[in-house]
Structure 1
Amino acid sequence: MTSARRTAVAAGVLFLITEVSAIAGLALYQPALTDAGYLGGAGADGRVLLGGLCELVLVAAVIGTAVTLYPVIRRRHESLALAHVAGRILEAALIAVGIVSVLSLVTLRQDGAAAGADEGALVAVGQVLVAVHDWTFLLGPSVVLGVNSLVLAYLVYRSELAPRPIAVLGLVGGPLVTASAVAVLFGLYGPAAHAISALPVFAWEVSFAVYLIAKGFKVFPVADRTVTAGGMRPELSVA
């Protein structure tokens, strides 16, 4: 297996891990996020903690996708490639803040109940922590994700790392999910409609991942050097 093929497979696997871990984490979090009696009841702490672990895997995979693809996409446009890495790190950081807020709910439930804290106070603090998670979820895996998807899809489209119809999904889906998140931010509609707007980005990441694993890069950009009147300068050629 060539270096380019290994890079493609690694990136594809990491993209699939982001999808699986994000869905699993959100599903496992539900008792803490939606059950009004979670803080005062027996709780589902093990399930919520497992959700936090899934989201830690998500954080690592989000950064991993950018780092793995950086040596490839920088051959097309180094500044945009670096922006993509920075954007994925920002996205991962926002997700991490959301993880901390949800795990804090577990601590609040356990220690608050043990200390005999007022139930009303527990609920009020719990609502704040849930709100922190909801806002980080909207800003990270929605607003920032959309921008990151647009940048990467543009680089994939220009470099032809994958078939262009796949890249078009990202070119359309990225701005769509970001615009939808902004609409939610200003109260134009709710999370259900926003979830539908995320489907093109989901399709983009999954189809790109599957293509990379199954086929590798369609075209692999190789930087070589050519002599010009001004001396040596890098050029983009195709292997």
Structure 2
Amino acid sequence: MSSTRRTAVVAGVLFLVTEVAAIAGLALYRPVLHDAAYVVGPGADTRVFLGALCEFVLALAVTGTGVVLYPVLRRRNEGAAVGYVCGRLLEAAVILVGIIGVLSVVTLRRQAEGAAGADGASLITVGRALVAVHDWTFLFGPNFVLGANTLVLAALMYTARLVPRPVAVLGLVGGAMICASATAVLFGVYEQVSVAGSLAALPVFVWEVTLAVRLLGKGFDEPADERLGEGDRVGVGVGVGVGVGVE
């Protein structure tokens, strides 16, 4: 297996991991995100910890896609490749901030359990504020920054023909749609976790899954000269040199 093929396989696996981890994390976080009184209730801390672990894996996988794809992308456009890596690092950093916000709610709940005369209303207000931190990071990380990263990667793959054009176009559409949706959520047109928000995020989900399957199944599309191994290039060079000498 060539190094480029290995890169494609690893990148494909990481893209699938991002999808599974993102969905699992959001599902596991549901008690703390949707129960305003979580901080003064019995809690579901183990479930929240599992959600945090899933989001930590998500942050690692997001960073990994940028690092793994960099050598391939750099050969086509070094500036765009660096931008993509930096964008993925930013996306992962925002996700980590959201994790800290959610885990802080759990810490607050546990401390309130052993505190005599704790002010329930104040605890609920602080808990809501910490959940709001997660919600805003969820909007800016896996929406705005993800959309920008998707546009950069899809545009690079489209111009360099690393994948079939329809696959790259799907990424361009998905990146634009999720950025537009995030803008709508920012200005209160609809909730992020809603039918409209889910429909707007669907093309990016399909793009990443399609790209992952393509990379795992067939790898990158490369020009014929790049598919030649080093030995083949030497052989071609020797053959050309001998031919010229004979003439």
Q: TM-score, normalised by structure 1?
A: 0.90
Corresponding position of 1:194: 197
Describe how 1:50-69 pairs up with structure 2 within 5 A. 50-69=50-69
CA distance in 2 between partners of 1:74 and 1:155 (Å):
10
Which of 195, 207, 210 matches 2:210? 207
CA distance in 2 between partners of 1:82 and 1:2 (Å):
23
Describe how 1:154-165 pairs up with structure 2 within 5 A. 154-165=155-166
CA distance in 2 between partners of 1:185 and 1:135 (Å):
9
SS in 2 for 1:190: coil
CA distance in 2 between partners of 1:152 and 1:30 (Å):
31
CA distance in 2 between partners of 1:140 and 1:57 (Å):
15
Corresponding position of 2:147: 146
Corresponding position of 1:171: 172
Corresponding position of 1:185: 186
SS in 2 for 1:121: helix
Q: CA deviation digits over 1:108-153, x for unaligned, max 9?
A: 1101121132111110000100110000000110001000000000
Q: TM-score, normalised by structure 2?
A: 0.88
Q: CA deviation digits over 1:152-200, x for unaligned, max 9?
A: 0011111221111111111111011011101110112222112210101
Corresponding position of 1:121: 122
Corresponding position of 2:219: 216
Alignment of 1:105 with 2:105, yes or no, is yes
> Unaligned stretches of 5+ in structure 2?
227-247
More strand per residue: 1
Q: Aligned-pair distance for 1:57?
A: 0.3
Question: Amino acid of the residue matched to residue 178 of structure 1?
Answer: C
Corresponding position of 1:95: 95
Question: Amino acid of the residue matched to residue 12 of structure 1?
Answer: G
Question: How well do the aligned residues superpose, as a CA RMSD in angstroms?
Answer: 1.4
* Larger Rg, first or second structure (1 or 2): 2
Question: Amino acid of the residue matched to residue 87 of structure 1?
Answer: G
CA distance in 1 between partners of 2:36 and 2:113 (Å):
15
SS in 2 for 1:39: helix
More helix per residue: 2
Q: Runs of 4 or more off by more than 6 Å in structure 1?
A: none
Question: Amino acid of the residue matched to residue 198 of structure 2?
Answer: A
Corresponding position of 2:242: none
Deviates more, 1:96-105 or 1:108-117: 108-117
Q: Aligned-pair distance for 1:93?
A: 0.6
CA distance in 2 between partners of 1:22 and 1:199 (Å):
13
Note if contact 2:14-2:62 (Cα within 8 Å) is conserved in structure 1.
Answer: yes
Identity %: 62
Corresponding position of 1:233: none
CA distance in 2 between partners of 1:25 and 1:188 (Å):
25
Note if contact 2:36-2:127 (Cα within 8 Å) is conserved in structure 1.
Answer: no
CA distance in 2 between partners of 1:39 and 1:53 (Å):
20
Note if contact 2:36-2:128 (Cα within 8 Å) is conserved in structure 1.
Answer: no
Corresponding position of 1:237: none
CA distance in 2 between partners of 1:188 and 1:38 (Å):
27
How many residue pairs match? The answer is 223
CA distance in 2 between partners of 1:186 and 1:43 (Å):
32
Question: Amino acid of the residue matched to residue 47 of structure 1?
Answer: R
Question: Amino acid of the residue matched to residue 83 of structure 1?
Answer: G
CA distance in 2 between partners of 1:114 and 1:17 (Å):
38
CA distance in 2 between partners of 1:115 and 1:61 (Å):
39
SS in 2 for 1:187: coil
